[in-house]
Structure 1
Amino acid sequence: MDSVGVVLAMLLAVVASGYLVRIIPLSLPLPLVQIVLGAVIAGVFNHGVTLDPEFFFLVFLPPLLFLDGWRMPKDGLFHDKGVILQLALGLVLFTVIGAGYLIHWLIPAMPLPVAFALAAIVSPTDPVAVSSITARVPIPKRLMHILEGESLLNDASGLVCFRFAVAAALTGGFSLASASLTFLWVALAGLGLGVGVTLAVSFAQRWLSQHFGEESGSPILISLLIPFGAYLLAERLQASGILAAVAAGITMSYVELTGRALATTRVQRTAVWNTVQFSLNGIMFVLLGEQLPSLLRGAAESVEQSGHLNPGWLAVYALAISLGLTLLRFVWVAVALRLTLFRARRRGEPLTRPHWRLILATSLAGVRGAITMAGVMTLPLAMPDGAPFPARDLAVFLATAVILLSLVMANLGLPRLLRGLKLPEEPAERQEEDRARREAATAAIAAIERAQRELLRDTAEADLHSQAAARVIALYQRRLDGGASSESAEQLRKAERIESALRLAGLQAEREAVFHLARHARISDETSRKLVREIDLVESRYR
């Protein structure tokens, strides 16, 4: 019962954190508030939660990575794929090597493979944490897309490097050739399995629903199970479950463009996934705070083994690693920008040099969060011979400190760097949204007229059908020429029933037009998702 009480207390802390972050006048990031609440829970219950690393990894990572892939704006991903790959792959390797040697130099008692593992797990960034900070100040959407794409891919690359480093720490050996071949299998098989699982499940679900029907909650439950199925299958075949979950999420976004799911299902599923994301992210940070006292004691013992009797060295290590990570990121971003400008100059393309504050903001935006927290908790508790894993508590504590310091640095630095900065206008998004609305309205009017002709079989109610159709068409006509609709007061109940049938026909055509534009890359995922959600909400009323 004590464990159940701790779990319920953590869930309550997640709920409370959402209110406290709005009440506290200091504008603290949500993760910091959740960590403090976790520490309070540890003090009240006077004991910590013993975690099974593999269980922790399985429960938290697949759904979060799946959702990242599902909601990632693919147009931004493909438009800036070069920059994103530089950050997600090149910067991760640069960080693992540079920060790994820095950590080992600072703490000789920490073996080099463990130092590399710590460097790998603090390399992924968390866009959820940085978006909670940048919500108070303007930030270019293109930069946010780059940060989101980077976090999606560097989650996978950082965690794969982390697993190789942990394997080297457990076995005591590392072969570059063997690791390269293993990486190819792990990556390609993981991606293929993630795509295959989503396509197979979606096809099976569609076939079963067409032939036998389904419960309204089944599609939502299936979407929750897909990331776990992809992850477990990939791990079973010695591939990357991490990449499988990411690939499954990206594939799900393409499956969604078919528009076969019911409007009410999409609305309910979005609410469920938002709750899952908020809960899992929150529980991880609350759990982090709950474990802080025991981690601090274990880290202090590890510091004593390195020859430092003063626990204050923990703060020195944490600050040095955080500054080192920021410096490595700044160097990589600055060099990558120079190379990009050089290649653009050679091709004769127009150059727009970003403001230096934007470059520094990109460096500070490397906030660590949920993925780092989930990954570091999976460090083995013991070596194959039963001995304790070397410097595990110290590594977990330092990863925790990096998360906290990166949040504080971004919270203090980003608003000041971005405030007052003139950002380029982005009219393309508004233009494509207007174009999508007009084309969807045109398709809806044509569908309503067809539906009116099919419904108009009883000539005695011809006027009623005409009035209902006119009311519905007028709603769409407003988007085209600004016309106004008139309200009919006669035979209201019967007219509303007819109007509902016509309205549903128009909404279906409107949604199909938006999906068609998205499938042919004429509008962005973000725009199509926004418009489809609006249509779904309206349709749920008429359903």
Structure 2
Amino acid sequence: MHLIETTLLLLLAVVVSGPLARVTRIALPLVQIALGAGIVLVTGSAVELEPDIFFLLFLPPLLFLDGWRIPKEDLFRDKAVILELALGLVIFTVIGLGFLLWWMIPEMPLAVAFALAAILSPTDPIAVQAIAARAPIPKRLMHILEGESLLNDATGLTCMRLAIAAASTGAFVLTQAVTSFAWLAIVGVASGVLVTWCVNKAKAWVSRRWGEDVGAQILISLLTPFAAYLAAEELHASGILAAVAAGITMSFTERDGAKGQALAMTRVRRAGVWDTVQFAANGLIFVILGEQMPSIMSRAAEVVADTSRPEVWWLAVYVFAIVGALAVLRFVWVWTSLRLTLFRKRQKGPPPKVGLRLTAVMSLAGVRGAITLAGILTVPFTLADGTPMPARTMAIFLAASVIIVSLVLATVALPRLLKGIELPPEPTHEREEDQGRIAAASAALRAIEDASHAMAEGKPNPDLYNDVASRIMVLYRERIESRTHTDEDDVDAARLSDAVERHLRLAGLAAEREELRRLARSRILDEETARKLLREIDLQELRYS
């Protein structure tokens, strides 16, 4: 019963955090962390954070959804810089920060220092999105950060796993490390792709033969990331990469899938369910993170008691030195990566200059989050010979403190740096949108004409079918004509006309909804009929909004 009450309390904190963040104008993750800490101070008990369970419950659905929804064209367009950040930057951070920690804290063995550096390398795009809400990050930059975070979690956790193995056994073999990394990555991706492909094929086959159950389809989509994650972990591969690969595979199978693979109602309801899951899971991660903070911070004196610098203020020095080193390492790598990759032009002429402000934004956007804390808590208590793991408590304290400091620093600095930042111009895709609408309308005209002829054949009143078809086809012909003008002014006028029509339709739908509610309150309409008509209006409003 206590677990149920605690879970409900955590969910209530997630609900309250949104309005509090808007009122106080504090970044949402910081509000959620503060609420989590407040819950512990009031109740006196915190959730026992089991890292393996934490990974299983939260990471698969969130990473799956990110892989599913991230624009693939943007991901592949900037694949070079994303891979450089997700792979090269992690290794660069592990080496640079690892040696710094080893030099700065004599009590921390090199392997443990590398493990801490590895788990501090993954970034948290959820926190960045919340922090930048008041000064939105340009889409292209956000897509790069999202793509980086999808991959660097696996890279950082893999490097940490290798460092912990070296610390436990006292040996490190480079060939074994490379082989292990390759297995984790290749088998993890393959597991995610294979599981999702099989699930979608089986789901489509069942739907074609016996029809589609909307509830079952949504539940299958919720279970797919867990299946991919567990399959990869069973093969001792990366479950994180499996979840990401599963999401990307889902997006491709949805786009290229067979007819009837998912009904419109399934897609609408499934999107709503996944939005709720994303909102709740993101919030719970930071609330639980906040719950862990009081117990970690209360052990500050214990952390430094047995070190060569027993003063507590040395912990602040270590934390700010780590945050500064992470920022410098990221700044150097990002600046180099942008110069070599992102701004490289194939056409003639000098490439654009890489601005220091853009580099600073990319550096500060590397905020650490809940994955860092959950990962560092997986460090074993003992070595292979049974002796205590050196500096384990110190590593946990430093990781938690870096998370808080990096969040606060990004909250203060990012909105200011983002004002007026310039990136290579984003393609508007307006021409592609017009071409898509024309092609879709042309296909609809052919289908309506064929269907009306088929329905009218042998019927006593064939003109009725032709009249109805003609009325519908007029709308599609208007759509084609409004987008086939060669004059740019005519095209702009057509787009303005669409915007005006959208606004007027929304006004009309709002009036319809209010009138139906009035009729339902007056008992002129029965409840079931009113609900049906209101749902039709809601679906139309979704189309125009």
Same fold, TM-score > 0.5, yes or no: yes
| Distance across 2 between alignment mates of 1:139 and 1:360 | 13
Report the alpha carbon displacement of residue 290 of structure 1 after superposing the two structures with TM. Answer: 0.8
Tell me the equivalent position of 2:89: 91
Distance apart, 1:328 and its partner CA: 0.3
Moved more, 261-270 or 470-479: 470-479
Verify the 8 A CA contact 1:53 1:377 in the aligned structure 2: yes
1:293-320 deviations in Å (ceiling 9; x for gaps): 1111234312222233332322222211
CA contact (8 A) 1:364 1:410 kept: yes
1:62-112 Cα offsets, whole Å, 9 max, x none, are 222222221222111211111111111100100111111222222222232
Return the alpha-carbon distance in structure 2 between the equivalents of residues 206 and 181 of structure 1: 37
Q: Conserved in 2, the CA contact under 8 Å of 1:285 and 1:373?
A: no
The residue type paired with residue 12 of structure 2 is L
Render the CA deviation track for 1:128-171: whole Å, top value 9, x for unaligned: 22122333225332222211211111122112112212222333
After TM superposition, the structure 1 = structure 2 runs for residues 129-140 of structure 1, keeping only pairs within 5 Å, are 129-140=127-138
Task: Name 2:30's counterpart in structure 1.
Answer: 32
Shift of 1:466: 4.4
Q: Go from structure 1 to structure 2 and tell me whether the alpha carbon gap of 1:461 and 1:122 turns closer, same or farther (over 3 Å shift).
A: farther
Identity of aligned residues (%): 57
Alignment correspondent of 2:290: 289
Kept after mapping to 2: 8 A contact 1:117/1:163? yes
Q: Which residue of 1 aligns with 2:446?
A: 446
Match of 1:81 in 2: 79
| TM-score of the two chains, using structure 2 as the length reference | 0.82
Assess if the C-alpha contact under 8 Å between 1:263 and 1:539 holds in 2. no
Provide the C-alpha distance between the structure 2 equivalents of 1:50 and 1:126, rounded to a whole number of angstroms.
Answer: 22
The question of 1:324 aligning with 2:322 is answered no
Task: Indicate if the aligned counterparts of 1:190 and 1:243 stay in contact, CA closer than 8 A.
Answer: yes
Tell me the residue number matched to 2:394: 394
Partner deviation per Cα, 1:437-456 (whole Å, 9 max, x = no partner): 23222222322222222333
Superposition pairs of residues 95-106 of structure 1, within 5 angstroms: 95-106=93-104
Corresponding residue number in structure 1 for 2:417: 417
Superposed, 1:331-370 pairs within 5 Å as 331-340=332-341, 348=348, 350-370=350-370
* Equivalent position to 2:106, from 105, 108, 114: 108
Q: How many Å apart are 1:255 and its aligned residue?
A: 0.9
Distance 1:37 1:459 in 2: 68
- Structure 1 unmatched ranges of 5 or more: 486-535
Distance 1:423 1:264, change over 3 A: same
What is the alpha-carbon distance in structure 2 between the residues aligned to residue 474 and residue 396 of structure 1? Answer: 67
Cα deviation, residue 335, structure 1:
2.2
Show CA shifts across 1:313-351 (max 9, x none).
222222111111011000111222344489759x85651
1:224 is matched with which residue? 222
Report if aligned partners of 1:264, 1:540 keep a CA contact under 8 Å in 2: no
Of the three residues 190, 202, 205, the one matched with 1:192 is 190
Q: Which moved more, 1:186-195 or 1:134-143?
A: 134-143
Distance 1:5 1:119 in 2: 36
Kept after mapping to 1: 8 A contact 2:343/2:352: no
**Whole-angstrom CA distance in 2 between matches of 1:475 and 1:372:** 54
Which shifted more, 27-36 or 309-318? 309-318
Kindly indicate whether the alpha-carbon contact (under 8 Å) linking 2:68 and 2:250 is maintained by their aligned counterparts in 1.
yes
List, as ranges, runs of 4+ consecutive aligned residues in structure 1 with deviation greater than 6 Å. none
Is 1:300 aligned to residue 298 of structure 2? no
Instruction: Say if 2:126 and 2:282, in contact at 8 Å, map to a contact too.
Output: no
Aligned-residue offset at 1:257? 0.7
User: Which residue number in structure 1 is paired with residue 156 of structure 2?
Assistant: 158
Amino acid corresponding to residue 435 of structure 1 in structure 2: Q
Deviates more, 1:407-416 or 1:11-20: 407-416
Q: CA deviation at 1:424?
A: 4.8
Partner of 1:277: 278
Worse-superposed segment, 222-231 or 450-459: 450-459
Per mean C-alpha deviation after superposition, the further-off stretch among 14-23 and 135-144 is 135-144
**RMSD of equivalent CA atoms:** 2.8
1:378-414 deviation line (CA, Å, top 9, x unaligned): 3334545665544333323322222222222222222
Q: Provide the residue aligned with 1:376 in structure 2.
A: 376
Amino acid at match of 2:21: V
Within the candidate set 62, 65, 68, 1:64 is matched to 62
Secondary structure of the residue aligned to 1:380 is: coil
| Structure 2 residue aligned with 1:245 | 243
Structure 1 residue 537: Cα displacement: 4.9
1:174-224 CA distance string (max 9 Å, x none): 211111112222221111111111111111222222233353211111111
Corresponding letter in the other structure for 2:445: I
- Matching residue of 1:126: 124
- TM-score, normalised to structure 1's length? 0.83
Corresponding residue for 1:8? 8
Q: In the aligned structure 2, how far is the partner of 1:144 from the partner of 1:155?
A: 17
The whole-number CA distance in structure 2 between the counterparts of 1:478 and 1:373 is 57
Residues 111 and 468 of structure 1: CA distance in aligned 2, closer, same or farther (over 3 Å)? farther
